[in-house]
């Protein structure tokens, strides 16, 4: 199951990425030391993230015996689970490719689904290792093939992230009102707050050039061109695409639950999906390890045991990684390795400065 978490991280770091076009600079001991420190920091962050994931899993597994897990796994319908995971992956992958192609067509230059496909493939593979590298892959592709500055591409992808959270807020509010027996019904104020906050942000960009000097400076930053140029039609079209992706993901989650013997009505799964997407989008742990089972336990504890939902959540996280790894072969793998070289070159240049 692909996740939104970290999808737009680390793109808009400033600068135009020109160092990527010139290749790595000459060896500089200071630069090497800077890269070493950066590498140690990244390793430490990953170690902390995995430790947090392990702590969450250990907390969720308290009181559950190995025998309970074995009984859960014996009762699983593996083919239904695998097909549902594959369906979820394809819905996310194809939906993201369509969304990104439309996004860059609206705000930068005409980009087809076929053109976006290899870049999104590289992004999906790189996200198994490094979310920042995944976003960088798309930004580099748009600069080299379409001439879109890296920072502008990054902020446009952030705009799509804004659309995602707007759809989550609106659909969560609708679920709270239309399905009174749903988990969100008693917590309607959460999606209402998300919708209001993002709606206010959208209003800032839609109302035009502000009068207040500080707000006007932010509004006029070149990197915010997609936010400035977005029209109601752009919001509606992108929201429709993302809503279809989210609905398809909810249907796949329904079958994933069924494969583990958790019989949740489809309407309840659809009603809980906005909350599930929002919570698992939080960049807390790698690939949602620990977070996904925690969210499933919160939403569906009335339909299945903690052992079953924990096992299901861990299986979903594992399959999400496993389905991305084959994307590293072929042209996408070559592009992914090029992205890593570009990142190292930029790190060397930054450390030398």
Residue 102 in tokens = 């439309």
Residue 183 in tokens = 């988990």
pLDDT of residue 28: 45
Residues 262-283 pLDDT 10s = 999 999 999 999 988 888 877 7
Residues, the chain: 353
pLDDT of residue 2: 43
Among 152, 170, 281, smallest CA distance to 221 is for: 152
Residue 337 CB contacts under 8 Å (≥ 6 apart), including other chains: none
Dihedral in degrees, nearest 10, Cα atoms 158, 160, 165, 170: 150
pLDDT of residue 15: 36
Residue 224 CB contacts under 8 Å (≥ 6 apart), including other chains: 155, 205, 218
Residue 16 is given by DSSP the state: -
The model's confidence at residue 7, banded by pLDDT at 50, 70 and 90, is very low
Residues 64-122 pLDDT 10s = 888 888 999 899 999 999 999 999 999 999 999 999 999 999 999 999 999 898 888 88
Q: What are the extents of the domains in the chain?
A: 22-149+248-352
Residues 137-160 pLDDT 10s = 788 888 888 888 888 888 999 999
Dihedral in degrees, nearest 10, Cα atoms 332, 336, 337, 339: 140
Report whether pLDDT(327) > 50: yes
User: d(Cα 103, Cα 97) in Å, to the nearest integer?
Assistant: 10
Among 36, 19, 121, smallest CA distance to 341 is for: 19
Among 201, 149, 198, 152, smallest CA distance to 172 is for: 198
Q: How large is the C-alpha radius of gyration of the chain?
A: 21
Among 12, 72, 8, smallest CA distance to 221 is for: 12
Residue 70 CB contacts under 8 Å (≥ 6 apart), including other chains: none
Record the pTM.
0.82
The position carrying tokens 């930029």 is 346
* Mean pLDDT (whole number) for 203-224: 86
């Amino acid at each position: 199951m692909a996740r939104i978490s970290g999808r737009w991280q680390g793109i808009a770091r400033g600068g135009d990425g020109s160092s990527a076009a010139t290749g790595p600079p000459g060896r500089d001991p200071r630069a090497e030391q800077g890269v070493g420190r950066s590498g140690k920091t990244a390793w430490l962050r990953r170690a902390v993230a995995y430790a947090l994931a392990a702590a969450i899993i250990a907390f969720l597994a308290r009181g559950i015996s190995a025998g309970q897990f074995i009984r859960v796994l014996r009762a699983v319908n593996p083919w239904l689970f695998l097909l549902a995971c594959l369906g979820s992956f394809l819905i996310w992958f194809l939906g993201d490719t369509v969304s990104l192609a439309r996004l860059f067509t609206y705000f930068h230059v005409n980009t087809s689904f076929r053109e976006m496909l290899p870049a999104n493939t590289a992004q999906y593979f790189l996200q198994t290792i490094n979310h920042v590298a995944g976003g960088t892959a798309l930004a580099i592709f748009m600069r080299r093939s379409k001439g879109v500055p890296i920072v502008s591409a990054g902020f446009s992808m952030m705009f799509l992230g804004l659309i995602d959270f707007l759809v989550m807020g609106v659909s969560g509010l609708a679920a709270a009102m239309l399905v009174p027996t749903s988990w969100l019904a008693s917590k309607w104020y959460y999606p209402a707050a998300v919708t209001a906050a993002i709606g206010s942000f959208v209003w800032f960009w839609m109302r035009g050039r502000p009068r207040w000097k500080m707000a006007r400076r932010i509004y006029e930053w070149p990197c915010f061109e997609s936010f400035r140029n977005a029209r109601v039609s752009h919001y509606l079209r992108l929201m429709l695409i993302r809503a279809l992706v989210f609905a398809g993901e909810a249907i796949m989650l329904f079958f994933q639950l069924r494969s583990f013997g958790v019989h949740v009505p489809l309407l309840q799964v659809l009603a809980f999906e906005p909350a599930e997407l929002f919570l698992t989008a939080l960049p807390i742990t790698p690939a949602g390890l620990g977070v996904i089972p925690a969210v499933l336990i919160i939403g569906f504890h009335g339909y299945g045991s903690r052992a079953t939902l924990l096992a299901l959540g861990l299986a979903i996280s594992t399959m999400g990684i496993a389905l991305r790894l084959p994307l590293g072969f072929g042209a996408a793998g070559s592009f992914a390795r090029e992205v890593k070289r570009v990142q190292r070159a930029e790190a060397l240049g930054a450390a030398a400065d």
